Structure 1
Amino acid sequence: MSKTSSTTIAVLVAGGGGSRFGGDVPKQYLSLAGVPVIRRSALAFLEHPKVDGVIVVIRAGDEALAAAALTGLEIAATVTGGADRQASVLAGLEAASALAPARVLIHDAARPLVTAGMIDGVVDALAQHPGALPVLPVVDTLKRGSGPVSEGTVERAGLHRAQTPQGFRFPEILAAHRAVAGQSLTDDTAVAEAAGLTVALTPGDERALKITTAGDLAMAERLLAGPETITVTGSGFDVHAFAEGDFVTLCGLEIPHSKGLAGHSDADVGLHALTDALLGTIANGDIGAHFPPSDPRWRGADSAQFLRHAADLVTAQGGQILHCDVTLICEAPKVGPHRDAMRQRIADILGMPLARISVKATTTERLGFTGRQEGIASQAVATVRLPA
């Protein structure tokens, strides 16, 4: 990434614990239509032509969750946040200073449905103003009350609902955050206003809701599904011959064995078959077209990145991965003892619930090349919901 005065960096704030949502896993790492919430947020900026890089701010202790959710994405930096949102944003801004951007977009990771139009509006407004904030009108009557009885009506004229990303010229907002460190202001425009910076109002979008409760997550699922969808299936098949070695890689796990598998990458037949199945759902060729074995970049590569790439292509078309089913065909090694770990590995790669991942094994009753223990084969089926 070039350090020029024209770059725009997005700082994705994911340092919260999601206490209002409940559960053991923070909301930003939960699956939303088959993709982790934080990954959807990151992709919205990584795929936007006016954004040059993304920095992610996470809570201490969430490193493994973040790594799994963001695997394969070109994240400029992942940093640990502070005790509250303001401290976390400052940590992200300090990390961004190494890239010397002209502009920064500060976004809540829990708003995964941010639109390209919202990002455009904020970036464009920064040409005339030091700050920009996407807002929605207040359409409901507002009431004031600290208990069960109304204590009065609040005039709603001139009021707005704030969303993110909130955008700023970088030097000004970095200085403003440094000046108010420890004051716990409510959002970044409050920090800017405290420093006397003008903040322009740009159009928000009702779809870009913030996921705070389980109901919000369900609403986001419905928004992604849309009114008209189709369900499609794709199939994949792969085979690799045995070679010298002492383990085989199957469905993302290294399984001890008396032989290895021959292949340009890690020769993971399970993930290769599933990658082809996902590519099949969107009619986008096969694994060899995307990762040619003639390309030295993929020598010995972890096949998880192939599977994640295929999943991202499905997501880019508005797809939701509903179910994956992998069958491994071999006489040895035994798959049963590793089946659940394989399912979990695929679920982690795809950011999907474990219940939607199936891994099975069978033999050919000692017939054919697998029966003669010359190699391992795999077939896979993927089910995906796509916009009609």
Structure 2
Amino acid sequence: MSASGEVWAVLLAAGSGTRLAQAVGGVKKQFLEWKGFPLFWHSALTFSKTPAVKGIVFVFPPDQLEEMRSVVAGLDGADSLGMPFRVTAGGRRRQDSVFNGLNELPTGCTHVLVHDSARPFASAAMVTGIIDMLQSGMEAVIPAVEVTDTIKEVEGSVVSRTLVRSRLKAVQTPQGFSLPVLYAAHRQAEQEGWDVTDDASMVEMAGRDVHICAGEEGNVKITNPEDLKRIENTGRTIPCVGWGYDVHRYGEGRPMVLGGVPIPGGPQVIAHSDGDVLLHALSDAILGLFGGGDIGHHFPDTSAACENMSSGIILKEVMIKAEEAGVEIVHVDLTVIAQIPKLSPHRELIRKNIASVMGLEKEQVNVKATTEEKLGFTGEKKGIKAVAAVTGLKTFS
């Protein structure tokens, strides 16, 4: 085998999944749909996002081999891996399936990752860490996490001894190996009749050192019916921020309204809608939370329907869009920039009104006002502007 240093992955999807069969109508777990793709494809996509992995060997049930060749080709056409792949049939035991996969690896491969397709949550960062340790000279590297339960060894229904928990680890995949070392271990296992549950055990029995790296608590295996909840409800919630900006000129036009609150004695503003510069900036910021464009797109100033439209309506419309996009708004920070009028008498009412319209607590809304030290068009009392920063939580399914 060449010493080029190529790393390939063998992705095992040949199991029968008997423990889950009844719960999922006979569908093998590696073929269960999640986020629009079968489980095995999610692991393939993770490998494709890891630059050090150069290719993948898929191992499928022998009776579905030709069908799965077409399925993989179709998946790659829809969401390309951007790397070479091969498809082969599995064997009677897990170790037979792995050995079949090893025999499909190209001559340029020197290291291999063996991964169970029923672990779709493994991260690219963990895969990279395993490869780094292999390339530093280690022959076998496996991810593992702490064991939190006390483990008993039993005979029948009687405990024979309690194992020392500090010396125990729960092992995961992918497991990484020097290909010559793993291949030789499989040959020895075949000759001596070993029956193992993972490749690391085989390498250990062959007298080689197996090193541990940090696994991931989320890298769980879909095995039992209750595990299905992990793929039925795996939405991620991440923070998002939207920023908005708006400007209006002073002049004969519409009475000043800020945050839905009339400002008696304030300069009139020139605007197509009601000219509420603060709510316009706020609405733009909300659209920014989920990539929703800007209010000019949704409420163009060329539209007769938007003539004199209340900015409160605009705000409520964009809030509906945010909710449909899976965004929860948690904080609003607003700043009005103007030389005139003075906003301190109105600030708390504006804050209270915006909180009420948005269904937020008053503490979740902040309203500030400042001048630009008589500089620019606001300093020359020619207009008013506002900026808004909105923080939200977006849930991804």
Same fold (TM over 0.5): yes
**What percent of counterpart residues are identical?**
34
Question: How far apart are 1:221 and its partner, in Å?
Answer: 3.6
C-alpha separation in 1, matches of 2:144 and 2:220: 12
Q: 2:119 aligns with which of 103, 108, 111?
A: 111
Any gaps of 5 or more consecutive residues in structure 1? 231-280, 284-318, 321-384
The residue aligned with 1:269 is none
Instruction: Output the aligned Cα RMSD.
Output: 2.9
C-alpha separation in 2, matches of 1:209 and 1:66: 27
User: SS of the residue aligned with 1:110?
Assistant: coil
The answer to whether residue 207 in structure 2 is matched with residue 196 in structure 1 is yes
Question: 1:118 corresponds to which letter in structure 2?
Answer: M
8 Å Cα contact 2:88/2:101 also seen in 1: yes
Q: Spell out, residue by residue over 1:193-237, the C-alpha distance to the aligned partner (whole angstroms, 9 max, x if none).
A: 122221110000011101112221212443x3124599xxxxxxx
The residue aligned with 2:70 is 67
Q: Spell out, residue by residue over 1:33-79, the C-alpha distance to the aligned partner (whole angstroms, 9 max, x if none).
A: 33210110111111211110011111111232563266224551100
Question: How far apart are 1:140 and its partner, in Å?
Answer: 1.4
The answer to whether residue 236 in structure 2 is matched with residue 226 in structure 1 is yes
Question: 1:110 corresponds to which letter in structure 2?
Answer: A
The residue aligned with 1:162 is 171
Q: Greater CA radius of gyration, 1 or 2?
A: 2
Q: Using a 3 Å threshold, how does the CA distance of structure 1 residues 176 and 282 change in structure 2: closer, same or farther? A: farther
C-alpha separation in 1, matches of 2:5 and 2:155: 48
The residue aligned with 1:370 is none
How many residue pairs match? The answer is 236
Question: How far apart are 1:183 and its partner, in Å?
Answer: 2.0
8 Å Cα contact 2:133/2:141 also seen in 1: yes
C-alpha separation in 2, matches of 1:282 and 1:170: 46
The residue aligned with 2:30 is 28
Question: 2:224 corresponds to which letter in structure 1?
Answer: T
C-alpha separation in 1, matches of 2:291 and 2:218: 25
Question: How far apart are 1:177 and its partner, in Å?
Answer: 0.9
C-alpha separation in 2, matches of 1:31 and 1:229: 27
User: SS of the residue aligned with 2:222?
Assistant: coil
Q: Spell out, residue by residue over 1:104-142, the C-alpha distance to the aligned partner (whole angstroms, 9 max, x if none).
A: 000001111111121012111112310000000111112
The answer to whether residue 176 in structure 2 is matched with residue 178 in structure 1 is no
8 Å Cα contact 2:49/2:124 also seen in 1: no
C-alpha separation in 1, matches of 2:170 and 2:163: 14
Please show how residues 78-93 of structure 1 align to structure 2 within 5 Å. 78-93=87-102
Q: Using a 3 Å threshold, how does the CA distance of structure 1 residues 186 and 112 change in structure 2: closer, same or farther? A: same
8 Å Cα contact 1:29/1:65 also seen in 2: no
The residue aligned with 1:44 is 46
The higher-RCO structure (CA 8 Å, 6+ apart) is 1
8 Å Cα contact 2:5/2:108 also seen in 1: no
C-alpha separation in 2, matches of 1:228 and 1:221: 19
Question: How far apart are 1:99 and its partner, in Å?
Answer: 3.5
Q: 2:222 aligns with which of 202, 211, 221?
A: 211
Question: How far apart are 1:282 and its partner, in Å?
Answer: 8.1
Q: 1:58 aligns with which of 57, 60, 81?
A: 60
C-alpha separation in 1, matches of 2:60 and 2:228: 20
